[in-house]
Amino acid sequence: MSERTVIGQLGRRQLLALGGTAAGMGALAACGGNTGRSTSTTSGGTSATSGSSGSSSAGGAKPTLQQWYHQYGEAGTQQAVEGYAKAYPDADVKVTWKPGDYDQTTAASLLTSSGPDVFEYGNGPTIDMIKGGQVADLTGLLGDADSDFNPAVLKRMTYDGKLWAVPQVIDMQILVYRKSMFDKAGVKPPETIDELITAATALTTDKVKGLFLGNDGGVGLMGAPMLFSAGLDYLDETGGFGFDTDSAVAAFGKLREMFTSKYLLQAAPKDWYDASALTSGLTAMQFTGLWTFPSIEKEIQDDYGAIPWPAMPGGKKSVVVGAYGSCVNAKSANVEAAKAFVKWLWVDQTDKQLDFATAYGFHIPARASLVPQAKTLQSGPAKDAAAAAQEFGHAQNSILWTPKCATAFGDMMTNIVKNGADAKAEIAKVKAIAEAEVKRVLG
Amino acid sequence: MTATPVSLGRRLRGRQNQNLWFWVFVGPFVIGLVVFIYVPIAWSIYLSFFDAYNTVTPTRFVGLGNYADMMRDEAFRSSLSTFVVFAAGIVPTTFALSLLTALLVARTRVMQTFFRSVFFLPTACSYVVAALIWKMSIFAGVPSGMVNAGLALAGHDAIPFLSLTRPPWYWLVIVSARLWLQVGFYMILFLAALQRISPTLYEAAAIDGAGSWQQFRFITLPQLRPTSAAVLLLLLINAFQAFDEFYNILSTFGQYPPYARPPLVYLYYVALGQGQDFGHGSAGAVILTLVIALSALVFNRFVSLRGES
């Protein structure tokens, strides 16, 4: 969601270099394997540890908890979370700040006994982590605050009636535009995709392109908002396939039209998660995240506005929201202590939640009662964005939409948008994979 | 040494402690090899027969199910076939370029050491670093990218090299990065082999009136055969194991496009990405290993047959 770097690859590169294909493949498995194999003994050790920590806690010593975060792009965030950890009275919390491929590292570490006790994960743990018993059930941790959390995000982190993560802050993706360029070209903020296309065409000049959707032309980013704007979803309420319709074909067709147009900015020095394409005047509109608003404000002051992704015929405007959820490792030696810490930080300590959401980049507090207190969200485009998230917010994906489905979806998007493949046939391919995956997960 | 029974201990250690020293030097590598290569290979094969989502100690045996799934997986098949084509292209290209550079450097009378170092230096560069330079500087899609700046001077519009698929400019980026990184290393191998060819052969050929092409064709090439075979085999394996520069040049936010996707990158997303599906990942790795082994065997047979004829 916020910025991640590509440079974390060295470790894996060396690993793969070690023994090529099968060996490389297995090397990681074996790292996990050494400890995974001794799960039974570890759990024996675990009970011993918790026993000793139990007895030592009688003596007054605090348990030690490892907490992992991915590397947030905004300055000061790391110091902030370290400060929160230090302030916790009931355990000695050590924060690890992990640059690079956070999701992969974390997922791999959960196989071992050296994983974190508490960790954040995009939109909560994956369905396979839940099914595999890697994360602890956090049901009941929210207490009375249950109804105060953003329902869309909470629903995304719930499976089988149980809660698996506590939302930290809500991130959102939104379309931002340069007001001055709109005024000059005499265009209004678009309400529909067709208006967006007209506007983008009118805004394009020799130097400035109309629209920027990422360095891959929107392939990786725009599939979800386009589906939501067409009134569709990845999966329906019962886990059935959600977009084998003509409206989906039309929606993806619009992205193809944009990709082949003259008004789409194909490359910028920084990708969509940074607003520099907009602020440096390369584009008049850009799809990006709420977190970039402080830097936009710094560069171009109030010369910008924020609007939801426009509607397709038969649908309505959409805003993609997601949230990092705080999870507890089921293999942790101190599951109860870890749960208590998660409850303390992400449920009880509302002042820290507010600070985390607003003091560095802009995010929306996960608890609705905190939103009015978030000063950064009370005026200008940030206020519009927060209101749009409330009205048009749509969780980034479904919990049953597995990584395999996501890969198939990404392939489909590339084939349709970049290669002009037949959308209907491509959707059918994804449908076959997704239906098999849902069956596997639910079965 | 402590006072162990003399005869047995001494015999085990060998004359002048030879055996002891053998294990002191070789032991760490053997242990490393076993722990980091053989155990993982065996484990990977074991996992490939199990339903192993988010675990490396699976319990549900599925037989050859994972293999069947991977063979049915259109994305995996297409990555395999793409890389058969890729190997067919990149192996001869790298081979020819390395040989050419080696010949040029070997013939140079001035600053030979300098040129040798210059061509070899890229080998010392990290694939990741090179990939990032290629992606973000040389072939950056923005008008300020190095190549695009050159195109602008020639009055050409900027090309978004990594974004377009028609024409597939991304191959230019990847192949040029790969050649830059690899040619120097194989050049050194060829150079070493060239310097072992006895000058008397060339002198005799010159007396017989052989021109430079004939000398190359009938002396240099045959004399280089063992080195050529080794280089070709290494290149072949290398082509199928492509990962670093592809991943770092083409992967975008959380995904990798379905084109120019090496089998290893696809397997990485299956087994080591967010999807921790070790069963299918391992099955894919075993299939890939078999493909490499098979190609190498066929190739080796081909080379040795030619050697005999």
Mean pLDDT of B8-37: 89
Give how far Cα A295 sits from Cα of A62, A131, A277, Å: 41, 40, 12
Please, what CATH class does the domain formed by A7-169+321-385 belong to? Answer: alpha beta
Put simply, the chain A residues between 413 and 442 with a CB less than 8 A from any chain B CB are 414-415, 418-419, 429
For this complex, say whether ipTM is above 0.85. Answer: no
Residues of B in contact with A20 (CB under 8 A): 237, 241, 289
Taking the C-alpha atoms of residue A430 and residue A405, their distance in angstroms, rounded to an integer, is 7
Residues of B in contact with A7 (CB under 8 A): 128, 132
Taking the C-alpha atoms of residue A433 and residue A16, their distance in angstroms, rounded to an integer, is 28
End-to-end, the C-alpha distance of chain B in Å comes to: 59
Put simply, the chain B residues between 186 and 225 with a CB less than 8 A from any chain A CB are none
Model pLDDT, residue A361:
81
Would you say residue A238 has pLDDT above 80? yes
Helices vs strands, H then E, count in chain A: 17, 13
Structure confidence by residue, pLDDT tens digits, A138-173: 999 999 998 999 888 898 999 999 999 999 999 999
Helix B112-120 vs helix B169-196: angle between axes, to the nearest 10 degrees? 140
Would you say residue A103 has pLDDT above 90? no
Confidence of residue B306 (pLDDT cuts 50, 70, 90): low
Task: Report yes or no: A268 at the B interface, CB cutoff 8 Å.
Answer: yes
Is CATH 3.40.190.10 what the domain over A172-320+398-442 is classified as, yes or no?
yes
Confidence of residue B110 (pLDDT cuts 50, 70, 90): confident
% residues pLDDT > 70 (chain A): 86
Mean pLDDT of A241-258: 96
Minimal CA–CA distance to A399: which of A70, A4, A142, A131? A131
Residue B167, preceding peptide bond in cis (omega within 30° of 0):
yes
Put simply, the chain B residues between 152 and 181 with a CB less than 8 A from any chain A CB are 158, 160, 162-166
CATH, domain range B65-308: 1.10.3720.10
CA angle A333, A334, A338 (to 5 degrees): 135
Model pLDDT, residue A41:
32
Model pLDDT, residue A24:
33
Model pLDDT, residue B9:
80
Would you say residue A46 has pLDDT above 50? no
Q: Which of A9, A215, A429 faces B252 most closely, judged by CB atoms?
A: A215
Confidence of residue B305 (pLDDT cuts 50, 70, 90): low
Confidence of residue A25 (pLDDT cuts 50, 70, 90): very low
Q: Name the range with the highest mean pLDDT among A71-75, A412-416, B275-279.
A: A412-416
Would you say residue A22 has pLDDT above 50? no
Would you say residue A81 has pLDDT above 80? yes
Domain boundaries, chain A: 7-169+321-385, 172-320+398-442
Give how far Cα A81 sits from Cα of A73, A111, A339, A355, Å: 14, 25, 17, 10
Q: Where in chain B is the domain with CATH 1.10.3720.10?
A: 65-308
- Does the distance separating the beta carbons of A132 and B53 come in below 8 Å? yes
The DSSP code sequence of A122-182 is: ETSS-HHHHHTT-B---TTSSGGGGGGB-HHHHHHTEETTEE--EEEEEEEEEEEEEHHHH
Structure confidence by residue, pLDDT tens digits, A293-338: 989 999 999 999 999 999 999 899 999 999 999 999 999 999 999 9
Task: Report yes or no: A29 at the B interface, CB cutoff 8 Å.
Answer: yes
> Which one of A4, A12, A25 makes the best mutation probe of the B interface by having the most chain B beta carbons within 10 Å?
A25
Q: Which of B56, B127, B285 faces A21 most closely, judged by CB atoms?
A: B285
Structure confidence by residue, pLDDT tens digits, B218-262: 999 999 998 999 999 999 999 998 999 999 999 887 788 999 999
Which chain B residue is nearest to residue A266, measuring alpha carbons?
B160
Q: Which of B241, B269, B272 faces A28 most closely, judged by CB atoms?
A: B272
Confidence of residue B263 (pLDDT cuts 50, 70, 90): very high
- Does the distance separating the beta carbons of A267 and B252 come in below 8 Å? no
Average pLDDT, chain B: 89
Would you say residue A118 has pLDDT above 50? yes
Would you say residue A15 has pLDDT above 50? no
